[in-house]
Chains A and B, each alone.
Chain A
Amino acid sequence: MTEHTVRSFSADLEDLSGDLARMGGLAEDMLSDAIQAISTRDLALADTVVARDPQVDALQIEAEKKILRLLALRQPLARDLRQTISALKIAAELERVADLAKNIAKRAKVLDTIEPVAALKGVARMGKLVSAQLKRVLDAYSALEPDAANKVWTRDEEVDEHYQSLFREVVTYMIEDPRTISACAHLLFVAKNLERIGDHCTNIAEEIHFLVTGETLTSERPKVDALDNGN
């Protein structure tokens, strides 16, 4: 897009995009490290994930301040306005993603104290899937590609299906061997956190679509709900 006549306005918008990109990068690393920490029982790595969360929080606060300033001083319109509002919402989504990644990392410590369970592999697989979703949606955001964002939006179905089958699998383990219940319960929480991150990715995808096209994604996304299947 062409430059603003007032170049400092463009600079402000770019500055904001930079903050969002940093938040996205941090959240992405935190998530993949959290999954890594869980699957390899790497407690030191888990600690670094927890330690990085305040950075994301600080960036979110910084981005919010810049957005407030932009709205007050520049009165952005049309696509600039949509870009500003999307940044506000995406910053909040990324803050939640980082928070959930932190929660996953915290469970690495608890899981370390109990016997490894087979279901861990399934959780790791789901983690990879969600990580890929997050990476794809962040790429779509930096390239402002609504088609790529739409793909992420549609692919959340896979995450939901994965969560659902994992849920069944873990419940089966618990029934078969009650000694694994504690570990399995923690894994279920991890899986639920991953499923939530997947949802945040779709929210970001919706924002990208709105930012670029000015239209809201309206068609009903296919939903797989574990609760509908008597679980």
Chain B
Amino acid sequence: MVMSRMEPIAQLRMGDAVVTAVKPPTNQAKVKTKNVSVFYGEKQALFDVSLDMPEKTVTALIGPSGCGKSTFLRCMNRMNDTIEGARVTGEIEIDGEDVNDKSIDPVLLRARVGMVFQKPNPFPKSIFDNVAYGARIHGLASTSQELETIVERSLERAGLWGEVKDRLHQPGTSLSGGQQQRLVIARAIAVSPEIILMDEPCSALDPIATAKIEELIDELKANYCIVIVTHSMAQAARVSQQTAFFHLGKLVETGPTEMIFTNPREARTQDYITGRFG
């Protein structure tokens, strides 16, 4: 059974007064999923997952390896289409639009739903071209001036501008791992996405680079719906407002991050986050 607790009300007794803390209204759902199942050939990897991801909110997907969290993440920009034999059933809607509808162009969809992977994967091009690439192919800039503005703004938002502005024409691969990860985030932002999916974006980074990415996630939250898969419980706790726990292809429990990490309802969630299995 999936426990959903998005409107917790806590009561504190202070002397004679009872203070009722009500969670601020949850943002509207940007992505809605209902009964999503994924099959890789005969094997079912995801079972009837229903989860809403609100806009301007970071949703963390946690769970042991092979629990289906990355599979679920990839459903949202139809990355599973690229895997042979993969079949997705159920409903996935972004702003009420079915992403699996025949009229949806997956390339355009992936511009709306950007993705950042575990290992930074800059193109073998200059820093500038890495960021300009998507904007160019989607025709987002009509003049080189406009293109430069997009590149500068994206790099600024990704917190990288100050570090690279004097070497925009050096290869993207010349940057450090943490810088490369921010470069690919800048690349994702450059095409003005609405949703950013992150699949373990910090697992290959040192603590300082990780902190910078986390700070960036926090800033990006103001404008985007962010969904992050992470194996670091502490990271999920730090960056997200909503946490969903997956186990064996099923969504076990979802709720406000604070509650999942202090008082989860499900025994399996409790066992996982306290390091008792997985």
Contacts and interface: CB of A to CB of B under 8 A. Distances in A.
Contacts of A76: 274
B80 to A, nearest CB: 31
B22 interface: no
Nearest to B237: A77
A229 interface: no
B12 to A, nearest CB: 7
A186 interface: no
B14 to A, nearest CB: 11
Nearest to B234: A75
Nearest to B264: A78
A157 to B, nearest CB: 17
A80 B89 CA distance: 38
Given A82-B262, A218-B11, A4 B270 contact: no
A69 B237 CA distance: 20
Contacts of B233: 75, 77
Given A78-B270, A81-B262, A214-B263, A5 B13 contact: no
B11 A216 contact: yes
A81 B263 CA distance: 9
A76 B277 CA distance: 15
A216 B278 CA distance: 30
Nearest to A220: B13
A66 B270 CA distance: 23
A216 B276 contact: no
Contacts of A220: 13
Given A78-B262, A78-B264, A2 B275 contact: no
Given A78-B262, A78-B263, A81-B262, A216 B13 contact: yes
A76 B274 CA distance: 7
A221 to B, nearest CB: 10
Interface residues of B, number: 21
B256 to A, nearest CB: 13
Nearest to A80: B274
A78 B261 contact: yes
Contact of B261 (A2, A6, A77): A77
Interface string B243-278: 000000000000000000111100001110111111
B270 A79 contact: yes
Nearest to A5: B275
Contacts of B271: 2
B1 interface: no
B83 interface: no
Of the listed residues A3, A5, A77, A220, the one surrounded by the most CB atoms of chain B closer than 10 A to its CB is A77
Given A3-B276, A77-B273, A216-B10, 8 more contacts: A2-B271, A2-B276, A5-B276, A78-B261, A78-B263, A78-B269, A78-B274, A80-B274
Interface of A: 1-6, 9, 75-82, 214-216, 218, 220
13 contacts: A3-B276, A4-B274, A4-B275, A5-B278, A6-B275, A75-B233, A77-B261, A77-B274, A78-B264, A78-B269, A78-B270, A214-B263, A216-B11
